[in-house]
Structure 1
Amino acid sequence: MVLDDWNAIIKQAESRRFIGREKELETFRYHINASNYLIFYICGQGGVGKTTLMKRYGEMAHEFGFLAVTSDEQQKTIPELLGHFAHQLAEHNIHLKKFEKRYKTYQQKREEIENDPSAPQGIIGMLGRGAVKVSFTLGDGVPMLRKGLEYLPQEK
């Protein structure tokens, strides 16, 4: 098939252009061999090749028999992030049925609230900030939770 031929040509050309990241690739290779599970993240300035590196990590993970899911700045909330992960897993025929059902309900309710003309403007953001405040309050009674929450900004 012609499309498969073009995809192979493009992939081969991209792999030849992928230079200068040997240290990162070796670090990833080491960790993927040494772990039963792995959370690997990349952060940094835009335009330096993080997405390209993540794609290469995904290919390497596949070569080692792992499934890789990725995220980026497009997922702005935890539910969006989890939904993004569930979607990627579903593409590999791994379905999180209970989560998918609840996430669909969440999306519908969120859309209803956002489109409700009688709802106050910014209600979704306010609810999110409220959840963070509740977490800070609960965190005072749970030492480990409080430590993790110290990294979140608090409103004065």
Structure 2
Amino acid sequence: MLQSGDLAPAFSLPDADMESFDLLSTRGRQRVVLYFYPRDNTPGCTLQAADFSDHEDDFTRCDCIIVGVSPDDCLTHAEFRDQHGLSIRLLADTETEVARLYDVWQEKEVDGVKKMGVARTTFIIDKQGVIRHVLRDVTPRGHAAAVFKLVKELDT
């Protein structure tokens, strides 16, 4: 399981506009808030994405980009983004390869039924590509503010 101090595994995924995002391209240039969420258009996922979008300028001032990843496809991401006025980049991990790479594809129990799904998890990655914080079992409300506080502390 990935933890603070580990090098963030490299990956490349398409975003809502079908443009490729490569994590390695951020090395030496930007910090990354990489958050995994279960599905577009669910209440918690919408709240989380909207909250990050609302505070994106604050993160940008700290040389930090926000990237959300779920198993939804590019078209679903585009509709989700447009419907809710989201500005953050949403990546399509339709084969759950990156979710598995980051150990967030896990068995969950919902209404007594066990199935595989994305565990809501956020990784804060520094400019050298090192994971500085891992936040597991995230509660969407207030999460963006808590993450921003941790990003700001990277400067101290």
TM range (shorter): under 0.3
Larger Rg: 1
Higher helix share: 1
Normalising to structure 2: TM-score of the pair?
0.26
Give the number of the structure with larger relative contact order, counting CA–CA contacts within 8 Å between residues 6 or more apart: 2
Normalising to structure 1: TM-score of the pair?
0.26
